[in-house]
Structure formats: structure tokens, C-alpha cells
Structure 1
Amino acid sequence: MHIGGEWVDSDDRYELISPATEEVFATAAKGGTGHADAAVAAASRAFEEGTWRNTPPLERAAVLDRVIAAVTARMDEFTEIGVRECGFPQRLSQAICVGFPLAHMQHYADLTRTYAWERPGPVTGMVLSTQLVRREPIGVCVGIVPWNFPLIIAVWKTFPALAAGNSVVLKVDEKTPVAALEMAAILRDAGLPAGAFNVVTGDGETVGAHLVRHPDVRKVSFTGSTAVGRQVMRDASDTIKKVTLELGGKGPNIVLDDADLDAAVDGSIYAFLLHAGQACESGTRLLLPSSLHDEFVERLTARLKTLKVGDPFDPATDIGPVMSAVQRDRILGYIESGKQEGATVAHGGGTPQGPGYEKGFWVEPTVFTGVRNDMCIAREEIFGPVLSVISYDSVDEAVKIANDTEYGLSAGVWSQDVPRALEVAGRLQAGSVWINDWHNISQHMPFGGFKQSGVGRELGADALDDFTEQKAITIDLTGRVDRRAYGLVLGTPPNA
């Protein structure tokens, strides 16, 4: 772990297992609540000392620039970390574990330079005064990062917090700590003061929960399941912490009857199969007009047969393994549930067989047809390569089905008539709606969910708002006691 600018070990270990081979490729320290307390104490000291929070924004941005340069110089290494830790196919790892994080890092560095840290108010009032509003750092910010996209989500938790002058404690998932620990070393070498950024490991139920409840933590940013997000919100409420929650999803992907089918078929596969479906904003419910249903499913399953599932180090591989045996068995349980509820397996439905699949955590890309929106596979987040196809007869019915969920993270619309697609998009209850695309998470656009998919937003032009507090300062301009409002309480002095 990295605490107070130092590497800190522990007596216990995690074994890090390759999802593709089940081989132990590294070990990592297993932290406990004592390490969490030490990290918060280090972050608190750094914040109180004020070296980082009082560093001018342009200088903070320069530190972030040096981090960007260092990660760029190690692209191949971070790509390999993604393949080994997460099972990303190699070309996907290069994008998800290097390309996107770098773009988002640069966005936060640029925001640090341009953000309105202070803005003037008007000259106002019955009592002549002027005002200004300052954006100031909150204090100790905790980021809790899941295993599916460990580096890019670590960037979302870390860079805006540091850009705003806060101190950070990052709690990484025990299965994927390597990239964040490498980033700790890079931040230190780039000139970040000791204690401003700390990385701890540990089980979520103990270390993560302890950090959320810690009285010296002022902000928690959590990405994970909706069930855990509810508990984070409850625990954070005891000390009225600011929270950002990016939680689960069950993205509806609506194909309209005038869609470009070639693009929509490939896009719908991309929507549910990126990282073997292990993305909260995946398009896992495919809504097809009855008139196109059979043709679309035929095209989709034919295209799936061309994809290579296998060794993530093979450049030809399209789909890698899922993260763990627990994850694999959970997904297979949902597939069995879909069969029992009466849905039809149009493709996949099990684990791939043959050479290369003897070890590793594999699930076939699986497509169900004949799905009703009240089925378990259509309502619960499976977090795997499983697609539920639902037929509809009118656009109004499609919108009703799409919104009939506790989630509201992502949605998509496919149409060659953009104004028509925009009209449908405006009716969808989702934080991100993609038209003729999916997974296009731009650093310039806010990302987060409606309903039980979360609270707050990451990325976008306002990304630093949730990591700052507003302070209103009012300056009297009268220069005289008798022109202020004191007479509302204080009577005329006896000798006046």
C-alpha cells in the first residue's frame, strides 16, 4: 500500500489471479482498518499542512501534466497490467487501460487551469456591499474503485479531487490493485506532497465500509453495485459526507424501424459485449420492433459467430474471460434462470469448450429471445455477456419498457432520422443516451445515473464542483456604521 508517501506492507496477502489462466501472477498486501486509519491520518495531515491545497492551480495542473507524460511513456506496461489483472483483450486494454485514462487525465488537468476558482458577485443591497464566491477544497476525499475498469475509474476519483486541492485515500479492489499502486508512485515522482494521495487495499465490507464511516473523511466517491451504494449512502449520512455514487444499470438499447441494420447489429453487440459485458452502462436489453425482430436476431447471431473468444494476449481475440470463478458462476446462474423463466437461447448459453478453455473463467456470449421485461434476466444486472431481446409494437411501448426499471444509467437509440431519435432520447430516463452508438463516454460530457443508478456526475465541464465547497464572501462598502443594518437590532445610542 502507499500511505503518507511511503510503501506500507502487511502480514496478510492477496493472490492476484489471471482470469484467463487462473495463474497467480502477483501478490498484494491485504490491508485492514488500521491501514485505513493511517491513510486518513496521513491525508488529514497533508491537508492541514496546506502544501498541496495552497499550491496555485496552474502548478497543480503542471503536476498532473507530468503524470500524463509518465503514463504515456509506459503505455505498453499499463496495457499488459490490464490484460493480466482484468482479462481485457490486448487491443481493448490499450484503449481502456491507457487511451481513455490519458484523455480523461488531460481533461482534468485542463479544467484545473480554466475552472472558476473565484467569481465576483454584484454590488447589491439595501446595505451597500459586494460579494465573491470561492470554490475551496473539501478535505479528505475517499475514492472506492471496482475491479472492472480499475485505472480509468481511479482517475475519475483521484484527478478531480487532487485538481481541487484535496487529499485522497483510494481504496482499490483487492483483485485489481496494481495500476493504482503504479499511479501512486508516478504521482509521488511528479511532485505531489507526501500524504496527498494514498492507496489502501482490503476487503470492501471491512476497509471500504470503515473509510465511508470515518469521521475525518468529508467526501466519498463510490463506483459499484446499487446494493452496496445504498449502504454507502446510509453510512456516509452519519457524518453528512458529500457522496458521488455511480451504480448499476440495465441499459435499454432501442432499435427503431428505420435504423441502419449493419451499424445497429455491430453496435448492439459492442453495447453488451465490451469487457465480456462487465460494464455497468452496458446495453443489456435490446428492444426490437416486431417487424425487424427475426431478421435482426439472425444478423446478430451470425455476427457473433465471427468473434473470437479466448487468450487476451492474442491480438486476434475479441472477447476475453470474466473476472473470477464467482463472477462466472453468478452469470451462469442467471443464464439458467432465463431458461427456466421461458426465454429462448438464440446463441451461446454456457461455457466454451475445447483447447484453450481448460483454465480460466469463460462464459459464451449469450443471447436470449422471447424475453419479457418482468423476467429476472431483464430486471437484474447480470454483469456478464448476456443480452435480453425484447420485442415491441410501437415506439410508445418501447419507451415504456425502457423506463420500466429501477436503473437509469444508460440508453441507446438507433435511427437514420436524428430528430426522431432525439425525440425518443428525450423521453428516456437515463443519464447518458447514445444515438447510433454505445459506450461513448466522452471526458467532455457528464456521466452518471438517474434513479437508483446513482447520485452526482463525473467528467464534464462541471467535474470539479463535487470536489469543492462554495464559500460566499460579502464585503461592506458603506464605510459607516449608520449606513449598515445594525439599527434593526440596536436602538439609537443614548448620546446620539
Structure 2
Amino acid sequence: MSFEIDYRIGGNWEKGEVGEPIDDLNPANQGEVLARFRLMSREQLGRAMDAAARGAVTWRKTSAIARAGVLGKAALSLRAQRDEIARVISLENGKTLAEASVEVEKSADFLDFYAATARLPQGGQIADGRAGTRAMAMVEPIGIVVMITPWNDPMLTPARKLGPALISGNSVVLKPARETPLAAWYLVKALVDAGLPEGVLNLVMADHAALDELMLGDARIAAVTFTGSTEVGLGLSRKLAGRNVRLQAEMGGKNASVVLADADLDLAVSTIVGAGFGQAGQRCTATSRVIVEASVHDAFVARLADALKTLALGAGTQAGTKIGPVVSRRHQKEVLAHVQGARESNATILLGGNAPQGETLSQGCFVEPTLITGVTDQMPIWRDEVFGPVVVVRAVASFEEAVAAVNDSQYGLSAALFTNSLRHAQLFLDEADTGQVSINLPTSGWDVHQPFGGFKDSGSAFKEQGLEGLRFYTRTKMAAVRFEW
């Protein structure tokens, strides 16, 4: 399957010109090269930014209904290629074929949803106190948008951003993660083949210094949208400080699920297994902390451990696999280092906590599903984002203590409560200091039309998804016409 990946610059596909080829490796088998790419030269990156400036002018003048037609055709193309693209995502990222298929479908859903918004009212007439005068609010695109996207949802996250950006009339420079460039390439190709004018969408990859200077440093950019770690997101905020450039940052999480004594334990266990270990725990919304009322702590932990023992590790493309590898050797080492830190803090590694041995699994970047108990609220494993198949459990004495534990975090992305108490459910919705709150549901799994984003160090003020997702990519101009004098 190995080939050299091209970038999109204006109306052309071009190969990178800098350095030795970089291997895009299969995380389930590090000996398999899926593709290769070289980084772009500074000259190529400069031309991509120039193309985006021209594309912004063209696309702004294109009617919203015409823009919607392009997004709709691209969505059809993704669905027609679903099985092929899902296999590529599974091979490149490590997630299972089932998870990858859902990612392709959701990516198409994002394009379809935002295409449909083209026929919704935009702006409108506003009362004016001056005689013979009518006033109106006009909605406009903001211009050039830089997109920096992660490896964990390598097609879905760009689609989540491209849908609202493109339907609003902006041009885009997309920089995907180096670990998963193929998924972004398929998405960009679908949009280009659907009729996107040249320069409207540019796909780039360069060294960090060139990206900082020529992409982020370009005075023409209007906005940067980023999904990734909190460290990088806050770094972007500092780089853009003092400039009139919008920043949307969807960052880290240390999401908690609370299990009260009156909860259905079987429901809680099955839901938390999916939320904590789906995609090998590599979701920003993954459940990584579980807070359990003390009277049911031992029963819950026993059931959770039994459920985890049934999760089969393997390549995402292999039938029967429940947990695939993490994305790379580097990330595997980082996840295992978090677990080792928990050992050294005298937490109990109740299950897993190692890289599996054996001829097949040792060739990949696998981490055993890991369950940790005996933690305190001061241990790094309780407070730091791990981003792998690792869940920690702690007992509390009451609902009030559980809510305090949920909120005692620098992060505020998602939280869930398992209970049969209507009173506690309503209080949790009000008191959980997170952007997403669930009752008897997972911390992950929001649909394309529902606003998404976190509080505190998990995100910026701008939400993604739904109609709220359009706000970041548009500006409002007030206009008034005097028609009588």
C-alpha cells in the first residue's frame, strides 16, 4: 500500500521537497510502512498561504447554496469509499474497523449537516429609529483559517472544522498530524474532487519553525482552530497574543464518571468500558477517572475488572479485536510511563499496565487495558491526562464529595453520572464544571448537530459542532439603508 503523499497547494498536488522521507507506520506492526512523505519547503508553504489568500476571495463570492453542493458531493464520495477509507484509518491510527467506519460516516455527516445550513436564515432585519431607514445584520466569512488537527480522529476532526469553515465562505490551510496524514489526504481529495475551487483548501506539512513563521506568523490569517494537547493549545495562545487572530482550542481532558450506590452497576460497567477503552483510550472525551460511592466500590471494581479481561488486543483490521494499539512507539512509552509513575506512588495496578509480550503483539504499539485502584487525589495518575487504555478508580463517601472530585481538576471537558436518583441527576447537571455532562451515558459520543467543547484548560470559548460551530468562522456586519428623505 506504500506510496508518497502529496500536498495540496492552490490547484495542484505536490510532493514535499525537504529532508529524508518520513515513514507513516502501522502502529499494529511497526515493520509495515503504509506511506511516505517529505516535508514542504518554505517556498511551497509560502505559495500555499498565497493560494489561500486568493481562494478566500473566490469562495467568499460563491453562493452558500453552491458551497453546500460541494460539501454534499464530498459527503457522498466519502460514503462511497467508506470501506476503503476505514481500512486506511484503521491501519494508520490503530483503531478497529468498526470505529474507523463510524469515523468515516461521521465525517460525511459533518459535511452534510453544514451543507444543510446554507438554506437557513443568516442575519436579518433589525429595527432602526431613524425615519426612512432600514437596518440589517449581515453575516460574512472571516477569511483565511489555519487548522491544526490531531492523530486520534484523523478524518473526523478536520471534517468537524472544515464543514462550518467552508460553508461560511472561508479558505483553509490544513496541517494534519504527522502520525496520520493519509486520513486527511482522503478528506481533502474528496472535497477537491467535489469541485472546491483552487486555493480554498490547502494541505500542508512542514517543520515547526517554518509553520510558526510562514503559517501562524502570516499577517493575513484570521483564525486558528486547533485540537490537541493543552500544552500545545496554550502555546498557540501565547504565540497569537497581541494579534487580532481568533483562536479555537479543543484541548485535553481528565474526564470523570461518577457511580452512586443506587446506580445500575451493569449499565455503569458496560458504558465505562466503552467510554474508557474505546479507541484504546485515545479520545479527549475518554473516561479516565471513575469516582465510586464507597458502599459499592468493591462490587463495581470486581465487575469492571471481569469486563476488561474479555477485551481482546489486536490489529484494528483483525476480526474480534476490541482494543487496537496506541498510535506510536513514542506514545506507547508515554502511556506506560504514566502507569509506572502510579506504581511508584504506591497505587495498585489491579489489571494490565504493561506492553503485551508475544511474537505478534510485541511488533505493535500495544498497551494492556489497565485498571488502577488505591489512588489519592494528589497522585499524578489521578490528575494528568494519560490518553491511553488506563482507568483509575477512587472511592468517595457521598454525592457531594463526588461532585467536588469531578471539579477538582484543571480540565473541564466531560463528566458523567450513573444514578437512579432524579434529584442527584439534576444537581449534577448544574454543578459539574464541564462542557459536556451525561447521566447514565458515556463521557464520549456527541452527535454532529450538538455543540461540543470544554471549560477551563480543556478548551477555549468557541464551541464546535452544531449551529454554535458556525460562530467561530463568521463575523457580523451591521448595515443601514436610508430610502426616504
TM range (shorter): over 0.9
> Helix, strand or coil for the counterpart of 1:183?
helix
2:459 is the counterpart of 1:454? yes
1:23-69 deviation digits (Å, cap 9, x = unpaired): 21111232244333221110101223x3x211111111111110011
> Helix, strand or coil for the counterpart of 1:361?
coil
Deviation at 1:208, TM superposition (A): 5.6
Residue identity opposite 2:127 in structure 1 = P
Q: For residues 335-350 of structure 1, what are the structure 2 equivalents within 5 Å?
A: 335-350=339-354
Report if aligned partners of 2:356, 2:362 keep a CA contact under 8 Å in 1: no
C-alpha separation in 2, matches of 1:450 and 1:35: 37
Report if aligned partners of 1:332, 1:350 keep a CA contact under 8 Å in 2: yes
Residue number in structure 2 paired with 1:30: 39
Q: Which has the larger radius of gyration?
A: 1
Residue number in structure 1 paired with 2:82: 75
Report if aligned partners of 1:32, 1:202 keep a CA contact under 8 Å in 2: yes
Report if aligned partners of 1:311, 1:356 keep a CA contact under 8 Å in 2: no
Which of 16, 24, 27 aligns to 2:24? It is 16
Residue identity opposite 1:330 in structure 2 = E
Which of 254, 259, 268 aligns to 1:255? It is 259
Deviation at 1:105, TM superposition (A): 1.9
Deviation at 1:396, TM superposition (A): 0.8
C-alpha separation in 2, matches of 1:334 and 1:468: 41
Residue number in structure 2 paired with 1:94: 101
1:422-446 deviation digits (Å, cap 9, x = unpaired): 3212101111112211212111211
Report if aligned partners of 1:20, 1:321 keep a CA contact under 8 Å in 2: yes
> Helix, strand or coil for the counterpart of 1:88?
coil
Deviation at 1:176, TM superposition (A): 0.8
Deviation at 1:204, TM superposition (A): 4.7
Residue identity opposite 1:17 in structure 2 = L
RMSD, matched Cα: 1.5
Residue number in structure 2 paired with 1:492: none
Residue identity opposite 1:452 in structure 2 = D
Residue number in structure 2 paired with 1:467: 473
Deviation at 1:460, TM superposition (A): 1.5
Residue number in structure 1 paired with 2:147: 143
C-alpha separation in 2, matches of 1:209 and 1:292: 55
Deviation at 1:205, TM superposition (A): 5.9
2:151 is the counterpart of 1:106? no
1:369-419 deviation digits (Å, cap 9, x = unpaired): 011121101111111111111111011111111101111011111112345
Residue number in structure 2 paired with 1:309: 313
2:443 is the counterpart of 1:435? no
Residue identity opposite 2:37 in structure 1 = A
C-alpha separation in 2, matches of 1:237 and 1:40: 21
Report if aligned partners of 2:256, 2:290 keep a CA contact under 8 Å in 1: yes
Residue identity opposite 1:42 in structure 2 = A
Report if aligned partners of 2:16, 2:37 keep a CA contact under 8 Å in 1: no
> Helix, strand or coil for the counterpart of 1:454?
coil
Residue number in structure 2 paired with 1:485: none
* Deviating 4+ runs (over 6 angstroms): none
Residue identity opposite 1:109 in structure 2 = A
> Helix, strand or coil for the counterpart of 1:302?
helix
Report if aligned partners of 1:258, 1:416 keep a CA contact under 8 Å in 2: yes
1:312-331 deviation digits (Å, cap 9, x = unpaired): 11121000001111101111
Residue identity opposite 1:19 in structure 2 = P
Q: For residues 372-411 of structure 1, what are the structure 2 equivalents within 5 Å?
A: 372-411=376-415
C-alpha separation in 1, matches of 2:416 and 2:464: 20
Q: Equivalent pairs: percent with the same residue?
A: 35
Which of 43, 49, 58 aligns to 2:65? It is 58
> Helix, strand or coil for the counterpart of 1:182?
helix
Q: For residues 102-251 of structure 1, what are the structure 2 equivalents within 5 Å?
A: 102-114=108-120, 116-125=121-130, 129-204=133-208, 206-207=210-211, 210-251=214-255
Residue number in structure 2 paired with 1:287: 291
2:52 is the counterpart of 1:43? yes
Report if aligned partners of 2:28, 2:94 keep a CA contact under 8 Å in 1: yes
Deviation at 1:181, TM superposition (A): 1.4
1:68-102 deviation digits (Å, cap 9, x = unpaired): 11111101111111111101111111112x12212
Deviation at 1:185, TM superposition (A): 2.0
Q: Runs of 5+ in structure 2 lacking a partner?
A: 1-6
Residue identity opposite 1:359 in structure 2 = Q
> Helix, strand or coil for the counterpart of 2:468?
coil
2:364 is the counterpart of 1:367? no
Q: Runs of 5+ in structure 1 lacking a partner?
A: 480-496
C-alpha separation in 2, matches of 1:444 and 1:45: 31
Which of 330, 352, 355 aligns to 2:334? It is 330
Report if aligned partners of 2:85, 2:186 keep a CA contact under 8 Å in 1: no
Deviation at 1:123, TM superposition (A): 2.9
> Helix, strand or coil for the counterpart of 2:283?
coil
Residue identity opposite 1:268 in structure 2 = I
Distance 1:208 1:317, change over 3 A: farther
2:449 is the counterpart of 1:444? yes
Report if aligned partners of 1:65, 1:109 keep a CA contact under 8 Å in 2: yes
C-alpha separation in 1, matches of 2:65 and 2:40: 35
Deviation at 1:272, TM superposition (A): 1.2
C-alpha separation in 1, matches of 2:133 and 2:407: 49
C-alpha separation in 2, matches of 1:34 and 1:285: 46
Deviation at 1:235, TM superposition (A): 1.5
Deviation at 1:263, TM superposition (A): 1.0
Report if aligned partners of 2:75, 2:109 keep a CA contact under 8 Å in 1: no
Residue identity opposite 2:228 in structure 1 = G
1:120-179 deviation digits (Å, cap 9, x = unpaired): 101325x66331011101111111011111100010221211100110110011111112
C-alpha separation in 2, matches of 1:170 and 1:253: 34
C-alpha separation in 2, matches of 1:253 and 1:390: 11
